[in-house]
Structure 1
Amino acid sequence: MRGADTVAELVRRQWGDHRIGLRDEHHTLTHHQVAAGAAARAALLVDLMPPRPGGEPHLGILLDNTPEYPLWLGATALAGAAVAGINPTRRGAELARDIRHTACRVLVTQRAHLPLLDGLPLPGVRILVTDTDAYRELLGPYGSARPGDARLGPVRPDSRFLLSFTSGSTGAPKAALCSQGRLAAAGASLAAHFSVGRDDVHYICMPMFHGNAVIADWAPALAAGAGVALRARFSASRFLSDVRGFDATYFTYVGRAVQYLLATPPTAEDHVHRLRLGFGTEAGAVDAARFRERFGVPLVEGYGSSEGGASIQRTPDTPTGAVGRAAPTDDLVVVDAETGRECEAARFSPTGRLLNAAEAVGELVNRGRSAFEGYWRNPEAEAARLRDGWYWTGDLFYRDADGYLYFAGRTDDRLRVDSENLAAAMIEHILARWEPAAGVAVYAIPDPVAGDQVMAALALREGAVFDPAEFAAFLAAQQDLGTKMPPRFVRVTPELPLTATNKIHRVALRRASFLCEDPVWWRPTQGAPYEPLTPAAAATLRAEYARHGRIPEFTDR
C-alpha cells in the first residue's frame, strides 16, 4: 500500500471499506463506519472550537479504551487539531494541571470518570460525556459529514497531532509533541517491519493515553488497513479469550504486563489462537522465553521513545537479550554521562553473561539528526534532552562489538553502591531467573553513610514461599551477579505496584523502603544469611541514619 504523509490521509482511506475495522466486546464497526464516525466528530469539533486569540485547537481525551478513543483520534487528524491523552490515574490538582497545561478547549470523557473532574478548576473547557443521550444528540446532526469536510487548520505532515505525556513518575509529566507526519511514518515503518496486512487484527489492551498503544499498535494497523480490537483496561485473565474472540494476530505490551499473563493458570488451549507477535518493552529475556514456550508467541523487544529522539531496529540476526541496532537514520552511541566519552564495548562470558558492566553501561545518545519535535511549553525539559547538539535518551544501554544494543534501565534507576554504578534493570534480569519469582523490581534506598543500598521486591508464583537459604544459594550461583549487586533487603509482596502504563512504580517502592507492611528479609552484614527484618532491627537502622545526618523520606514515618 502506498505510504501516506498524514494520519488524516490514512483515516480517509477507510472510507468505502466495509470490512470489520474496529471492535470491542459491545460494538463492531466497519472501516467505513470508522471513517464516517471520525468525520462526524471532526465536524462537531470545528463547531466547538471557533477561532479565538491564543486558543489552541487541542482536545483532551479522558477515556478507557472504548471505540470513542480511536474515533476521536481520527477526528482530530481530519480537523487539523491535536490530542492530549489524559491519564485517568492522575487525581485532583495533578489531573487539572495536565488538562490546563496542554491547553485543552474540549475534554472528551465518560460517566465513569466524571467523579475525577468534580470540583476541578477547568475554566473554558467544554466537557463531552460520550455515554450519554446528550452526547448522542449533540453528534446527531453531523452524521452526513465526510472526511475532509471540516477543518480547524491546515492538515500537513508537520501539523501538531499528539501531546503525549511521559510517565511522570517523578515531578510533573512532560507532553512530548508528535506531528501527523511522524506518526504516519512510524505506523508505516512498523507495519512494513512486522509484515502487517489487511487481514491482521491488532489487539489494543494497553491504555491509549500512552504512546505505546497509539504509536506501536493503532498507527501500524491504520497504515496497513488492519483491524483493531479494544479491551477497555488490561486484563490478564481475559487476554486469551479476547485474542481468540477477536481473532487477534498482534498486540503490544509495556512493563510488567507479560509477567501478569504468565501468572495466569496454564490451560491445554494456551496455543489455540491466531496471535503471531507481541511487540513491546521491558519483558526481559527470561519472561520472553517463558511466554513463547507457553503460548507459542514470540515477543519482540523494541525501543523507540515517545519523543522520537532515538530508535533501535531488531533484525533476524539480533542476539538473544539484545534490542537491535540503531535505525539507519540515527547515530547512536553509549556514553559515560559524566565525561561524555564513549563506553567500552560489552564483553561476555561463554554463556552470554556481561563481564564489564561498570565500563560498558552508559546513557544512550543520538549524535545524529533526531526526530524529536520538542515538549509542549517546556523549554527547560527540551534543553535537558538536547545537550551539546546530541539527544540524550535518559536510558541506560550497553553495546557489543558488533553494534548490537542491550537495554539496562533508566538513568533514574541507576544505583551507586560503594562508589560503583549499577543498573537496576540488569540486576532484575538476573533475579528473574529465580524460578519462584513471578515479578521482580530492584531499586535504590539510601545507605546510612553514603550512596545507595540495593533493595528488591519479589512477587512470588502461586503456591511459592520465600526460602531465604534457597534464594541466597541462587544468588551465589549467578556468575554475572557482581559483588555489589545482591540485594541487602528483600521485600516479599503479593504483587508489584504498577503505574497506569503497567510499569513498576519505583517511586512508591523507594518511599516505602523497608518500612512497608510486607515481610522484609535482610542481611545485617555483607554475605550474612537473610533473616527477617524485625521492628527492633528497623529501629536500629533508623537510628543509624540519624547518627550520620541522613534523614531519607522513609525514615520520617
Structure 2
Amino acid sequence: MLDLGTSLLASVERDPRALAIVDGETRLTYREWYTRISSLVAGLDAMGLQRGDRILTLMQNRWENATLHWACQLAGLVITPLNWRAKADEVAYAVTDSEARAIFYEAVAAPEVMAAPEAAALPRIMAGEPTDGAASLSSMLEAGAADARPRAAAEDWSLMLYTSGTTSRPKGVPRRHRAERAAAVAHVAQNLYHHSERTLGVMPLYHTMGVRSLLATSLIGGTFVCLPRFDVAGALSAIEAERVTNLYLVPTLYHDIVHHESFSKDRVRSVTKLGFAGASMTDGLMKKLDEAFQPALFVNHYGSSEVYTFTIDQKAPLKPGSAGRAGINQMIRVVPLGARSTETAAKPGEEGEIIALLNGDESFEGYWKRPEANEKALRDGWYFTGDTGFFDADGDLFVTGRVDDMIITGGENVSPVEVESCLSLHEKVLEVAVVGLPDERWGKVVTAFVKRAGTITAEELDDHCRTSGLANFRRPRSYVFVDAIPKSPVGKLLRRKLVAGEYDSET
C-alpha cells in the first residue's frame, strides 16, 4: 500500500495540468499545487518539526488548509484538525492531549486560540493576515523550495481526528497512511467516481467525510472545489460555476440546498452522483432529492471516524432507510443489545448493536491514550459502534439510531429514526426529531419536535401516524413545534439538547 505522499506524487505525475483545487480566484493545477505544497513542507522543516510530530489545525475549508493536509502527508507529520469553532478550553484540551508541537489557524479562531495558554505557548502560524505575533502561512506557501519527496511509510500515522465528545471528553482517533488511502480507494470504487470528477469540498477537513473527499479527488485527477464555510447560496453558485459532478454531504446540507428559494434543477444539472453519510436520511428528504436531482447514482454511506466504511447502498431510493451491505473492506454483524459475545448474531428483524471487523483495511487500531474507551468499544477483534440496527430478510442493514437514543416506553423499544421517517413524509413537516422524555408512568414518552412547513396541528400529525402503518406504541404522545432543530456544526442532530430543553419553541 502506498503512503499518501507517494500517492499524491503519483497523481501529480499522472495529471500535472489537470485542475486540482479551486478556492474563489485561486485555481491551481496538480503541478502548481505540488509546488505550493513543497514550499510548505520546507517551511515545516524550518520550524524544526520532525516525522511523527502532531500539529493542531483550526481552519475552514480554504485551499491553504487542504495544502497543509498534503504537506503533512509528505513530511510525515500527523495532522490533527479541530473544529474551527472550538472554544478555548477545547483547544487547550486538544493541545495537551495530542501533544501538539505547533498550531495553525485563521482569524475566526484566533480569539479562542489566544485565550488558551497551552495553545498560545506553541509556535503559531496563521492563514490570512497574522496577528498577535503569529507567523504567516501565506509567506510559507509563497517561498520557493525544491520538490518535496515523500518521507512517511504506509505504516506511519497520517492524521488524528477527534470524536465529537457529546457524552465524554473527545477521543483522539489516530489513523495510518494505509488505512486512509484504503478508505479513499474504497470511496472512489463505491461511489463509482471516474477520472476528472469535480466535488464540492464543503464537508469540513476536521471531519472524516471532508478528508475522504479530499483524498479521493486526488486519486482520480479530480477537482476539489473549496467552500470554506457552508451557505446555500455559495454552494449553489459553486456547483453551477464549477460544474460539480458529485456531492457527498450530510442530510442536513442536502435539506437546506433543495429547500432554498434559489434552488433549481437547472443550476445543479452537472451533478450526476449523490452520496450522504453522517446521519440517517428521512424518507421524505430522499424522495425530494431523487426528484430534484434525478441522479444516476444515489449512495447511502454508513461509517465512522474509527472505521471509515461500514456499509454501502448504491441504490438508496429503492429501499428507503436501508444502509445496504458491508463495504468492500469490511464485515458487519448485529448482536443482541447488551451482548458481550461477537459470535451471537441477532435474528433478521431483531434490533441489536452493530459491530464491525477491526481487521478491515480502513480500520483504526484504538483510541489515543484512552484504554478505558478501547476496553468498552474493542472486543475480540470487533468494534462495537454504539449504533443500533437490524438486518432485514434480504440481508440489508437498517440503522435505527444510537444505543443511548433508544426510547424504552412501557417496556417497548422505539427507534427515533423510524418515527422521524414516518413524520417526514407529511408535506407540512419540514424537519423532525424524536426523543424520549421522562414520564412517571411510561418511563419515557415518545415526543416529536417538529419544524413546520405550513399550518399543521398535533392532531393532524397523529392521524398521519395512525394511517401510515406506524405501530401504536411507536406513535408520539406529544408534539412540540420549534423554530429550529438543534444540530452540530456538521449537521448531526443533537437529541440531547431537546431532552435538556435547549430549544426555542415556535414563535
TM-score by length of 2: 0.90
Q: Find the aligned partners of 2:23 and 2:382 in 1 and give their Cα distance.
A: 43
Q: CA deviation at 1:21?
A: 0.8
Residues 173 and 24 (structure 1 numbering): CA distance in 2 closer, same or farther, change over 3 Å? Answer: same
Q: Is the 8 A contact 1:56 1:103 kept in 2?
A: no
What is the letter of the counterpart of residue 41 of structure 1? Answer: L
1:293-312 equivalent positions in 2, closer than 5 A: 293-297=291-295, 298-308=297-307, 311-312=310-311
Q: Is the Cα–Cα contact under 8 Å of residues 309 and 391 in structure 1 kept in the other structure?
A: no
The answer to whether the Cα contact below 8 Å between 1:263 and 1:438 also exists between their aligned partners in 2 is no
Q: Of residues 477, 491, 504 in structure 2, which corresponds to 1:488?
A: 477
Matched, 1:80 2:73: no
> Superposition pairs for residues 354-503 of structure 1, below 5 Å?
360-366=350-356, 369-370=359-360, 371-449=363-441, 451-461=443-453, 464-479=454-469, 481-503=470-492
RMSD: 2.4
Q: Contact 2:265–2:292 (CA<8 Å) still a contact in 1?
A: no
Structure 1 residue 135 displacement after superposition: 1.1
Alignment equivalent of 2:112, drawn from 93, 111, 116: 116
Deviation of the 1:377 alpha carbon: 1.3
The residue number in structure 2 matching 1:518 is 505
Aligned-residue offset at 1:211: 0.8
In the alignment, is residue 214 of structure 1 matched against residue 211 of structure 2? Answer: yes
Correspondence 1:103 to 2:99: yes
2:275, 2:301 within 8 Å by CA — same for their partners in 1? yes
Residues 338-360 of structure 1 deviation map (CA, whole Å, 9 limit, x = unaligned): 245422212xxxxxxxxxxxxx2
Q: Distance in 2 between matches of 1:86 and 1:267?
A: 31
Q: Deviations over 1:61-95 (max 9, x none)?
A: 10011001110010000001111111123212123
Q: Could you give the per-residue CA deviations for residues 359-398 of structure 1, whole angstroms, max 9, x where no partner exists?
A: x211111357342322111111111111244321111111
Cα offset for 1:267? Answer: 5.2
Q: CA deviation at 1:129?
A: 0.6
Return the alpha-carbon distance in structure 1 between the equivalents of residues 347 and 126 of structure 2: 55
* 3-state SS of 2:399 partner: strand
- Paired residue type of 1:139: M
The answer (yes or no) to whether the contact 2:286–2:317 under 8 Å persists in 1 is no
Residue matched to 2:33 = 34
Counterpart residue number, 1:201 = 198
Match of 2:160 in 1: 163
**Contact in 2 for aligned 1:12/1:147 (Cα 8 Å):** no
> In the alignment, is the contact (CA less than 8 A) between 1:310 and 1:393 conserved in 2?
no
Structure 2, unaligned stretches of length 5 or more? none
2-side partners of 1:328 and 1:262: how far apart?
A: 31
Deviation of residue 138 (structure 1)?
4.5
For residue 35 of structure 2, give the secondary structure of its aligned residue in structure 1.
helix
Contact 1:310 1:332 in 2 (8 A): no
Q: Distance in 2 between matches of 1:316 and 1:383?
A: 36
Per the alignment, residue 335 of structure 2 pairs with: 335
Pick the structure with greater CA Rg: 1
Following superposition, the deviation at residue 231 of structure 1 comes to 0.6
Q: Once the two structures are aligned, what percentage of the paired residues are identical?
A: 22
1:145 alignment partner in structure 2: 146
Counterpart contact for 1:164–1:210, Cα < 8 Å: yes
Output one character per residue of 1:211-235: Cα deviation in whole Å (capped at 9) or x when no partner: 11112x1121111111110111111
- Aligned residue in 2 for 1:545: none
The residue correspondences of 1:18-57 to structure 2 (distance < 5 A) are 18-50=17-49, 57=53
- Deviations along 1:513-544, one digit per CA (max 9) or x if unpaired, are 7xx54159xxxxxxxxxxxxxxxxxxxxxxxx
The alignment of Structure 1 onto Structure 2 pairs a total of residues equal to 491
Please give the alpha-carbon distance, in whole angstroms, between the structure 2 residues aligned to 1:37 and 1:326.
39
8 A Cα contact 1:331 1:366, kept in partner? yes
Determine the C-alpha separation between the residues in 1 that align with 2:127 and 2:424.
43
Does the aligned pair in 1 maintain the 2:191–2:275 contact within 8 Å? no
Give the aligned partner of residue 284 of structure 2.
Answer: 286
Does the 8 A contact of 1:159 with 1:180 survive in 2?
A: yes
For residue 533 of structure 1, what is the aligned residue in structure 2? none
Q: Give 1:116 deviation, angstroms.
A: 1.8
Q: Are residues 140 and 292 of structure 1, via their aligned partners in 2, closer, same or farther at CA, if it must alter by over 3 Å?
A: closer
Q: TM-score, normalised by structure 1?
A: 0.83
Residue 328 of structure 1 and its aligned partner are, at CA, apart by 4.9
Q: Does 1:323 align with 2:323?
A: yes
Deviations 1:286-330 (A, max 9, x none): 311211201323531111221017621335699512221123553
Distance 1:457 1:100 in 2: 39
